[in-house]
Structure 1
Amino acid sequence: MADLRDDYIRRYVMDRFEVADVWGVGSATARKLAGLGIATAGQLRDMPMRQARGIGTVVLERLVAELNGVQADAVELIAPERKGMAVTRSFGIPIADLNGLMGAVSQFAMRAGEKLRQHGLVAGRMTVFFHTNRFKPERPQYAASRGGALHPMTADSFELIALARRCVERSWRRGFEYTKAGIMLEQLAAADNRPRTLFEDPERQAQRDRLMSAIDDINGKFGRMTVVPGSQGFKRPWKMRAEMKSPAWTTRITDLPVVKAKG
């Protein structure tokens, strides 16, 4: 009976405790949670742990575990199977010019950095690839793959974009129509445990981290690609095929058609 009473008291308190006042929940995370309708510690406690990791990395996932009475160190810092990460897409129309391919690869690098930050990771190596349509052997064929080290290890999207563009410049060939490209990240490590470099500037690193956090917050609130680098371009005539799929009316509320009656 005592255990039941204690559990009731804990739940009573959590349901009346604002999530922003929970130790470990910062203002940015609190805003993201508010957007999901999570306003109390009790609602945070009932949040799926996988969803918590996606919103606030492993820190928030551990916090949810603690609110449920699970020791924080029981939650793994990095899933053991995650050895790499990739962002690859097929183009809606072939790309035949360098600027177009640069824009596509810049977008992939931006997204790759976002994924790293969502999981609380940094990468130590990147590989960029692009190729022509392999299913049309009658057309001129070319495939390229070029990699490079990220030193220091990083999740900064602008650092990823800079390396990705260098890789494209070194392997680009004129006269071909490219239909697919991608970025692969390897040597992943937890951001908190990444190896430090001798000449690292902590103040500059903190500024870059705040910048990335601000971009993620804006894109999370107003929609992906609200803030994009200029190198990505804005018209993107090569839009990926996945972006031209039919609306998901049964699974995504934002895709539902809106009907307004005139008074």
Structure 2
Amino acid sequence: MGDVWGVGRRLVERLALMGIKSAWDLAQANPKEIRRRFSVTLERTALELRGVPCIEMNDFDEARKRIMTSRSFGKLTDDINEIREAIRQHGQRGAEKLRRQNGLAKAVMVFLKTNPFRQDLHQYSPSLVLELPRPTADSREILHTAGQALERIYRKGYLYQKGGVMLLDLIDADRQQLSLLDTPQSDAERQRSAKLMSAMDALNQRMGRDTVKLGMPSPGAAWHLRCAHRTPRYTTRWEEIFTLHS
């Protein structure tokens, strides 16, 4: 009985008191009684065991409604330049995911967070949503708007622990509603943007992530993730290939 998804040890004991000791017993039980004594979730499980579909599974091919990329910094920092690099990195990652699902974003949200568990530090966790000039998946436009948002929410005197970028109001690129004010020139710019981003994504897929990127991150910046206990990556990094010495 404990092998049934969602049925834990305590629930097994309560079901046993009703004479339900196997998945077969649960499938044959009265669903309404199961719901009354336990929950609607267990009722659905009982119905599923009978072959009645009632638990919706996530559609992994469904396009996301929003895309967020964020990560805690390797160490606390108040350096605006380092934070700007982190936001730029997250913005590019989000734009890549957006293009993979053939989407466009209408707005960008940037957020920062201090460490809420450090009572000895001043706390400040701002966020700001800015509308993009037009629906886009162009990394350049997304990073420009994200940079503007960062400049407006950043405050000196705080040690930041985390930052991130969220792409909002996503739409399907094939269903984009063009403005009546669009001109042939703006349409040509849109096509050039799509070709440039496609070329970048193709190179990064073929040659490895970050082969082509916007802006060079500073080595050893505070926002880089700490990997002190990471095992050597023999199969993916030339510089970490195992060597033998006689």
Fold conserved (TM > 0.5)? yes
Query: Deviation string for 1:198-256 (max 9, x for gaps)?
Result: 235111111111111111112112221122212x534251244376662487xx94269
Contact kept, 8 Å, 2:82 with 2:223, in 1: the verdict is no
1:79 matched to 2:59: no
Letter of the 2:209 counterpart: R
Letter of the 1:90 counterpart: S
Give 2:86's match in structure 1, choosing from 104, 121, 127.
104
Q: Where do 1:2-13 residues align within 5 Å? A: none
Between the two proteins, what is the percent identity of the paired residues? Answer: 31
Give 1:168's match in structure 2, choosing from 150, 159, 178.
150
Provide closer, same or farther for how the CA distance between residues 246 and 216 of structure 1 changes in structure 2, counting only shifts above 3 A.
same
Rounded Cα–Cα distance in structure 1 between residues aligned with 2:199 and 2:243 = 34
The residue that corresponds to 1:147 in the other structure is: 129
Rounded Cα–Cα distance in structure 1 between residues aligned with 2:220 and 2:235 = 26
TM-score by length of 2: 0.66
Gaps of 5+ in 1: 1-75
Letter of the 1:179 counterpart: Q
Give 1:213's match in structure 2, choosing from 198, 201, 206.
198
- Aligned CA RMSD, in angstroms, stands at 2.7
Query: Deviation string for 1:15-40 (max 9, x for gaps)?
Result: xxxxxxxxxxxxxxxxxxxxxxxxxx
- 1:86 is paired with a residue whose SS is strand
Gaps of 5+ in 2: 1-58
Rounded Cα–Cα distance in structure 2 between residues aligned with 1:205 and 1:88 = 28
Which structure dedicates a bigger proportion of its chain to helix?
A: 1
The residue that corresponds to 2:241 in the other structure is: 258
Contact kept, 8 Å, 1:153 with 1:195, in 2: the verdict is no
1:237 matched to 2:224: no
The residue that corresponds to 1:226 in the other structure is: 211
Letter of the 2:205 counterpart: G
Contact kept, 8 Å, 1:152 with 1:196, in 2: the verdict is no
Q: Following TM superposition, by how much is the alpha carbon of 1:176 offset from its aligned partner in structure 2, in angstroms?
A: 0.9
Q: How many pairs are equivalent?
A: 184
Please identify the structure whose Cα radius of gyration is greater.
Answer: 2
TM-score by length of 1: 0.62
Give 1:114's match in structure 2, choosing from 81, 96, 108.
96
The residue that corresponds to 2:47 in the other structure is: none
Letter of the 1:226 counterpart: T
Letter of the 1:171 counterpart: I
Q: Following TM superposition, by how much is the alpha carbon of 1:151 offset from its aligned partner in structure 2, in angstroms?
A: 3.0
Letter of the 1:220 counterpart: Q
